[in-house]
Amino acid sequence: MQIIKHSHFGVSELPARWPWAEAMLREIFESADIRIGGGRPWDIQVHNDRFYRRVLADGLLGFGEAYMEGWWDCDAIDEMCFRAKRANLEKHWGSNVRVLMAVALSAVINLQSKSRSRLVGERHYDLGNDFFEAMLGPTMQYSCAYFQNTADLDEAQRLKMDLICRKLDLRPGMRLLDIGCGWGGLAKYAAQRYGCTVIGITISKQQQSYGEEFCRGLPVEIRLQDYRDVSEPFDRIVSVGMLEHVGYKNYRHYMKAADRCLKDDGLFLCHTIADIESIPRPDPWISEYIFPNSILPSASLVARAAEGLFVLEDTHNFGAYYDPTLLAWENRFRKSWQRFENRFGGRFYRMWRYYLLGCAGAFRARGIQLYQFVFSKGGLVHGYVPIRAC
């Protein structure tokens, strides 16, 4: 993966020290019980005095980039980010011209059009199947696990897949559409355990090639296809971790695509990370370095996009489980890093750990959520019984 390097707004020309900026940033972090130069695991150790001015000027984007470049360290990034998110520290930081232009651009341009939507596949999901296999494990599940009566990641991921299948009331012979099928893990599970025929669609070439082999011998087809181009009838539809890449200009198109494909007596489960506010504001660092053009919906935006098309039968929030999921991924990534060091380099290592641990802290702070929405077309006559237990 090639990490894009930007010329920062005056960063290279910043004086070695800005005493007022240092004092201000120390005070801001102290309000979240994070000390610069402190001795606790969640305290920050600054190695470059330009860090203070950069963070005040560039906000979250500059904070993450400064870590990637080795300007600061922290033994427990997840706990530090938890405290920062809980105290809403980002409200004190500015946004540079790059960030403001990106927000303005997203308001007038559809950044998740058919042509632009493939960028996240090329930049993120095509990093290498072996890389994701080392981090995700045998289930190849790149979404929140369901830690019910288990602390084991692989078992929790199997419980998540089974929870989805039971919520959809899958039965042998049903035809299931998996929108954003990843590496085919859920498609394989539904075909093996529930006897379904599955069509999975992805915009990642490497995911498609892996999924075809992963599901070989099963009634599963993995296609390289945009969700807007599917128009076949299905008994059930599932979409896990896809809506985050759809973009707020396309939520209605996404719901219409599901409506077009779902039979009248069908069920549609949408599993997505969600913001707590209905404000189209991409995380500047995540959007720049991890998931290009990504943006989180809110629960109300999802419901609004489904109005007139579906009845919302059930909403389940188990976002607190994303914290242990991300920590388990980070542990596997770190343990397998020696295999990938020559391919990606040290800057990528810092970037990826910051991504995983920072997100763990944000979910721990409950600043972002994980929802499973179950929709029907017109409402189930005898009602829907929510499923939670394993």
The residues that are catalytic are 359
Question: Which residues, other chains included, contact 68 with Cβ-Cβ below 8 Å and sequence gap of 6+?
Answer: 3, 289, 347, 350, 351, 354
Give the whole-angstrom CA distance, residue 103 versus residue 120.
18
CA count, 13 A, side-chain hemisphere, 316? 21
Question: Which residues, other chains included, contact 87 with Cβ-Cβ below 8 Å and sequence gap of 6+?
Answer: 31, 32
Angle at 243 between CA 130 and CA 156, to 5 degrees: 55
Instruction: Classify strands 220-224 and 72-73 as parallel, antiparallel or unpaired.
Output: unpaired
Q: What is the DSSP secondary-structure string of 45-59? A: EES-TTHHHHHHHHH
Q: What is the CA radius of gyration of the chain?
A: 21
Give the whole-angstrom CA distance, residue 45 versus residue 73.
5
* AA letter at 230: V
Number of other CB atoms surrounding residue 218 within 10 Å: 16
**Of 4, 2, 1, which is closest to residue 98 (Cα–Cα)?**
4
- 211 Rama class: left (phi>0) / alpha (psi -120 to 50) / beta: alpha
Residue whose token pair is 């996009």: 305
Phi (first) and psi of residue 171, to 5 degrees: -140, 155
State both tokens at 208.
């498609």
Residues 152-159: contacts with CB under 8 Å, at least 24 apart:
153/324, 153/325, 153/328, 153/329, 156/321, 156/324, 156/325, 157/185, 158/189, 159/390
Give the whole-angstrom CA distance, residue 336 versus residue 102.
35
Give the whole-angstrom CA distance, residue 194 versus residue 176.
11
